[in-house]
């Protein structure tokens, strides 16, 4: 995550850190502020919640490249898929 991207998107929408902290269930603003400042990394669920509040794709907020999930699994050591 780039340190300023989350903050810039939040500010462009006119949302405060207090608003975000309350929506995410933090007891204090510092919990959310620490994510914005890069002191704390959000869990995947928290990242998803933040992206939903800001209505921005989670990849755009937190990842330099899009994450791709593979749906195929390797079964056994014979190399069968």
pLDDT at 78 over 80: no
Residue 72 to residue 68: CA distance in whole angstroms: 12
- Residues 6 or more apart whose Cβ sits within 8 Å of residue 20: 10, 32, 50, 53
Residue 18 to residue 24: CA distance in whole angstroms: 10
Is 73 a domain residue? no
Is 28 a domain residue? yes
Residue 44 to residue 35: CA distance in whole angstroms: 13
* Domain span including residue 46: 3-62
Is 11 a domain residue? yes
Is 7 a domain residue? yes
Q: What is the pLDDT of residues 19-68, one digit of tens each?
A: 999 999 999 999 999 999 999 999 999 999 999 999 999 888 877 665 55
Is 27 a domain residue? yes
pTM: 0.74
Q: How many domains does the chain have?
A: 1
Is 80 a domain residue? no
- CATH number of the domain at 42, please: 1.10.260.40
């Amino acid at each position: 995550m780039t340190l300023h991207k989350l903050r810039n998107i939040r500010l462009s929408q006119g949302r405060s850190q207090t608003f975000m902290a309350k929506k995410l269930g933090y007891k204090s603003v510092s919990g959310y502020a620490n994510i914005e400042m890069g002191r704390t990394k959000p869990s995947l669920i928290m990242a998803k919640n933040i992206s939903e509040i800001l209505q921005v794709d989670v990849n755009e907020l937190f990842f330099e490249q899009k994450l791709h999930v593979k749906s195929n699994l390797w079964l056994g050591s014979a190399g069968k898929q």
